[in-house]
Structure 1
Amino acid sequence: MLNLDETMFAQLAESHRYELQVHCYRMLGSFDDSEDLVQETFLRAWKKRDTYEGRSSVRSWLYRIATNACLDFLAQHARRPQTRSIDEGMRSSDADRIPADISWLQPYPDRLLNLTAPDTVEPDAAVVAKETIELAFLVAIQYLPPKQRAVLILRDVLGYPSGDVASVLDSTVPSVNSALQRARLTLKEHLPSRRDEWRPTDDPTVAERRLLQRYMTAMEWSDADAIAEAMTVLVAEDVRVTMPPHPLWFVGRDAFISGMLGSLDPRSPAYVGEWRCVPTRANRQLTVAQYLRAPGDDTFRAQVLNVLRLEDGKIAEITAFEAKFFDAFALPAVLADGHVPGLTATGRPD
């Protein structure tokens, strides 16, 4: 039993907030929902504090509550990747390359991941130290049934023994091991084929930083031909572009370039305005926050957050998110002078 008053309990819970939110985020794929489920976890923990017997750490006890809170949420909000139709401008021959529709997918700011594990010797460093926070992994585990997802995260991400996982899920060790085997097989089907090439790193290489700078520079040009030429070099031939929860998607470099040029070319009737780019980081990936100054406006306003996945030195995937996430990334809503002072192309202070 936890003999704590409300203030002491709140302090104890808060010390685990960030890692529990990452856990809920992996389970749900949604930043917004992960915040709500952490609050639900704390509420349940407070109500059940007299059931804590001290057989495990408070941390493990909170993970158990958080995992089951997420499973309850998923039982009430069925979420499975949906097959997109091909009537959005794609040829039927591209049907096997069309990205799944995962409308609830949201980005996770690196600045909060860094708060989760500020010191690599801390136990919770494992929560974000592996390649299991990148969007490719988040997308892949959405194909798993909720309990298989929980088993995979508890075993392969957090390193829980099978017996502990069985206890968390009120299951048996053979059942947990069987679920883990099935989950790993499904995961392999949906992860990028060359795992070593998509593994995120804490510090982008020089080549990656250069690529990011060239991408941002090209996006700020007003010359459609120059933009197309630059993107041909920077973007992979089979690039995939999505923008959850919107139906927008492109597969292939030519489709991507032709789809965006109309909005970037001042001569086009579909021209939306001038862009400015600010580097940031999401899910341990290079990310670009883009601001738009519409014709007749004097201010650059938050528009879209593009998370990039690189492969073979090119942009292999772009996952775009709405401007509502800028606040979570500590980014301003407007750029009155067209830039954020003090930031370099790596997203770090000068």
Structure 2
Amino acid sequence: MDVSDLIARARAGDHHAFRDLVQGHSHELHVHCYRILGSVQDAEDALQETLVSAWRSLGEFGQRSSLRTWLYRIATNRCLSMLRADSRRPRSATSLPDLALPEPAGTSDVPPWLEPYPDVLLDNLADQAPGPEARYETTEAISLAFITALQLLPPRQRAVLVLRDVLGYRASEVAEMLDATQESVQSALKRARATVDNHLADSGGGRPAGQPDTAAEHQLVARLTDALERADLDALVELFVADVRFSMPPAVLEYRGVDMARRVLTAATFRPDRSFRVVPTRANGQPALGMYVADVHGGVHRGHTLLVVTIVGDRVSVITGFDASVMPRFGLPRMLPETD
């Protein structure tokens, strides 16, 4: 159906026409909000508020820009308003359980509100090519390292970099979206690029090489799964780069290096009272592992953590652990029955 006809019907109060008008944009708007906010839940809230605002203000849409650009303007400004209101969850770091963990190498750049993004939600973005001004490829622009780097930026810089370097909008378009001057957009972009590039260079992941989800990656994930389920610490550590990094938001602690990895895994994972089952999945364009710990009373394994893995070459360079609350978004059950 013609877009102009849908707009006319939606302006007349036809909710079905409005749904048809925006449904092709909802997935990419959700990803956009996630990039700016770093939280899947906050992105869902921002998307719903964006659609409500679009419905209410559709009469103001003069079609000087495309509907997609107009929706991105609303979504971006909704996200900025949420950041000004400090609505992120959680707002502050938490401590890790008392596991006699070693002293961390330092404070992690991973913010406490960061959540992993299920790859299954990215499947509908295949046809959404970025504009000619884009600087980052799609796989990089959703990686945990990139999302973390964005969270280091002030809100306005964050929005400018995503609109310019990820989505490929021109400076003039971004200035109109943000009610700013082109000069201020270019200045914010220059500062944002410097921060993001420095973080990616120092993140342990760098810019991804090659295509994700390859046979070699599958083989590495299979070896990780096997080592974890067998509690084979030596086999697991063999898969790490020498300066491997561990972080576990919402705790803002970071552990670095193979020796530290051994100590952390011994204290937190490979304990005599624990056995694990592992279910592979994907998050942020990267391999992820849903880990289930055996219930002390037997019969089931309960969801314990989701590990998102960054791979460089044929080794693991970064592991980011999230608590079990994120697992249902990946279609992972809360419990697994015992196997024979």
- How does the TM-score come out when normalised to structure 1? 0.83
3-state SS in 1 of match to 2:117: coil
Counterpart contact for 2:40–2:115, Cα < 8 Å = yes
SS of aligned partner of 2:241:
strand
Q: Stretches of 4+ moved more than 6 A in 1?
A: 81-85, 120-123
1:212 lines up with 2:221 in the alignment: yes
CA distance in structure 2 between the aligned counterparts of 1:153 and 1:122, rounded to whole angstroms? 11
- Return the offset for 1:101: 4.9
Instruction: Give the fraction of aligned pairs with identical amino acids, expressed as a percent.
Output: 39
Contact 2:94 2:250 in 1 (8 A): no
Unaligned runs of 5+ in 1: 340-350
**Aligned counterpart, 2:275:** 274
Please show how residues 124-203 of structure 1 align to structure 2 within 5 Å.
Answer: 129-193=138-202, 198-199=207-208, 203=212
Q: Count the aligned residue pairs.
A: 323
Match of 1:35 among 5, 22, 44: 44
Q: 2:101 and 2:328 mapped to 1: Cα distance?
A: 31
1:56 aligns with 2:65: yes
Distance 1:11 1:34, change over 3 A: same
1:4-42 C-alpha deviation (Å, 9 max, x unpaired): 112211222222111000000000011110011000100
Give deviations 1:57-114, integer Å, cap 9, x for gaps.
11111000000000000111177x99999x97427xx44xx42251000000111101
**Which of the numbers 240, 253, 256 marks the counterpart of 1:251?**
256
Cα deviation for residue 121 of structure 1 reads 6.6
Letter aligned with residue 103 of structure 2: M
Deviation at 1:284, TM superposition (A): 0.4
Give SS of 1:151's match. Answer: helix
Q: Structure 1 residue 330 and structure 2 residue 326: aligned? A: no
Contact 1:299/1:336 (8 A) holds in 2? yes
- What aligned pairs does 1:107-118 form with structure 2 within 5 A after superposition? 107-117=116-126
1:330 and 1:65 map into 2 onto residues whose CA distance is 30
**Structure 2: distance between partners of 1:77 and 1:244:** 18
Cα 1:120–1:29 change in 2 (3 A) is: closer
Q: Secondary structure at the match of 2:320?
A: strand
Matches of 2:76 and 2:26, distance apart in 1:
14
Deviations 1:160-180 (A, max 9, x none): 011000000000111111111
CA contact (8 A) 1:276 1:338 kept: no
Please tell me the residue identity of whatever aligns with 1:237: A
Residue 15 of structure 1 aligns to a residue in which SS?
helix
In the other structure, the counterpart of 1:295 is 296
Please state how far the C-alpha of 1:258 moved relative to its aligned partner: 1.7
Tell me the distance in 2 between the aligned counterparts of 1:121 and 1:157.
10
Shift, 1:48, TM fit: 0.8
Matching residue's letter, 2:50: T
What's 1:344 paired with?
none
Shift of 1:262: 4.0
Question: Which structure carries more relative contact order (alpha carbon 8 Å, separation 6+)?
Answer: 2
Deviation at 1:195, TM superposition (A): 9.6
| Partner residue of 1:261 out of 266, 271, 283 | 266
Structure 2 contact 92–250 (Cα < 8 Å) conserved: no
Aligned CA distance change for structure 1 residues 121 and 182 (closer, same or farther; 3 Å) = closer
How far residue 251 of structure 1 moved from its aligned partner, in angstroms, is: 2.2
* SS state at 1:112 partner: helix
Deviations 1:247-303 (A, max 9, x none): 56422222222222245556x4xx3x2211111110000111111112322111221
3-state secondary structure, aligned to 1:54: coil
Change in 2 beyond 3 A, CA 1:314/1:151: same
The structural deviation recorded for 1:206 is: 2.8
Q: Give the one of 78, 81, 102 matched to 1:72.
A: 81
CA distance in 2, matches of 1:100, 1:131: 18
Change (3 A) 1:112 1:259: same
Contact 1:27 1:70 in 2 (8 A): yes
**Aligned pair in 2 of structure 1 residues 211, 318: CA closer, same or farther (>3 Å)?**
same
Which residue is 1:317 aligned to?
318
Offset at residue 186 of structure 1 (A): 1.2
The residue aligned with 1:342 is none
**Is this contact kept in 2: 1:198–1:309, CA < 8 A?**
no
